[in-house]
Structure 1
Amino acid sequence: MSIFVRDSGDLRRIVRELRAMDDKKLKAKFRRELRKAAQPLVPKVRRSIRNIPSQQAYSPDGLRAALARATRIEVKTSGREAGVAIRVDGRKMPSRMKSLPSMVEGTKRWRHPVFGNREVWVDQPKQPYFYNAVRTAGPLARRAVSRVLDDITREIS
């Protein structure tokens, strides 16, 4: 599960310019500012995950805690894939739970046996947590990324 904030080529153009300049401090500042622009989305997604309805109380060892721990920011500044991603990364989930982020959201079907009985299977209802949380804060993050792009463009010029 991820949302990727992209700009129409401006981000890639700036990355190319920074690579040509070979200014490590400016590159580091650019990545740091992009990360800071997207940072407010992470607590919103984690709060949304913790508020998923459940019969059980919130546990630091449970599924919701694992989903919250797997939520992170990824900044890519390679030439082809430049952007900022908020990701609930299945690779950061415990073993045998790697596909659960998309199953809980409802983008994949989630079936399981009833109390381990492999003869009887049920569909687990989806509990959307990711897209609802970022939909409201997404425009603010895009504006913050645009401000970062403008600032770096001024510094490059």
Structure 2
Amino acid sequence: MEFSVDQEALRLLARAMREESDGKQLRKDLAGDLREALGPARTAVRASIMGMSSAGMSTGPSLRKSVAQKVAIQVRMSGKATGATLRTRKTPNIRGFDNAPKRLNRRRGWRHPLWGDVERWVSQLGKPNWFDDPIRRGRAAYRDAVLAAMEKTAKRIKSRVG
């Protein structure tokens, strides 16, 4: 799931910030504003996975909590992939289930051997679209917040220039 603002505009804004005397501070402020703009999306995605039903044994760390903790906002101010991204990292230390976020999000789930019986395999479903649905629902609001953050920084630069 991806939504986009004008990536070229963000790239031009980043270039203008580099040319300013305190461009480093402007970049930090813009990155912080972009993280703040996507904060509600991260909260909604985390709440979505925490809302997944759980019927497993509580012998190890919580799968839902571990996946929720791996949801992060990444901001890049240069390069080909300029922008702010909401992504989730792999979970290598959780029950040997490296791709938990990806598998929990899939409609078809995943297959694994039945506990204690390597001959029998079972299919298991997570919560399909736990990551995509909250983003899809708030897409317009998140886009507007990112554009507002960009506009705020552009106004700061413009006020200094003239």
TM-score of the two chains, using structure 1 as the length reference: 0.85
| Percent identical residues | 27
Residue 11 of structure 1 corresponds to which residue in structure 2? 10
In the TM superposition, what are the counterparts of 1:24-63 in structure 2 within 5 Å?
24-56=24-56, 61-63=61-63
Change (3 A) 1:79 1:155: farther
Deviation at 1:63, TM superposition (A): 0.5
Provide the C-alpha distance between the structure 1 equivalents of 2:108 and 2:83, rounded to a whole number of angstroms.
Answer: 25
In structure 1, C-alpha distance between the alignment counterparts of 2:58 and 2:40, rounded to whole Å = 23
Indicate if the aligned counterparts of 1:5 and 1:84 stay in contact, CA closer than 8 A.
no
Report the residue type matching 1:62 in the other structure: S
Alpha-carbon RMSD across the aligned residues, in angstroms, is 2.4
Aligned residue runs from structure 1 range 87-106, under 5 A: 87-90=87-90, 93-94=92-93, 96-106=96-106
| Residue of structure 1 in register with 2:138 after alignment | 137
The code of the aligned residue for 2:134 comes to A
Question: Structure 2 length as normaliser, TM-score?
Answer: 0.83
Query: 1: distance between equivalents of 2:20 and 2:107?
Result: 42
Counterpart of 1:151, as a letter, is: K
What displacement does 1:60 show? 8.7
Distance 1:134 1:57 in 2: 30
**Partner SS, residue 87 of structure 2:** strand
Compute the displacement of 1:120 (Å): 1.3
Match of 1:84? Answer: 84
Q: Which amino acid aligns with 2:83?
A: G
SS of aligned partner of 2:121? strand
Indicate if the aligned counterparts of 1:15 and 1:79 stay in contact, CA closer than 8 A. Answer: no
Counterpart CA distance in 1 for 2:4 and 2:17 is: 17
**Partner secondary structure for residue 39 of structure 1:** helix
Counterpart residue number, 2:68: 68
Partner deviation per Cα, 1:112-147 (whole Å, 9 max, x = no partner): 001232211122124121111111122111000011
Bigger radius of gyration, 1 or 2? 2
Unaligned runs of 5+ in 2: none
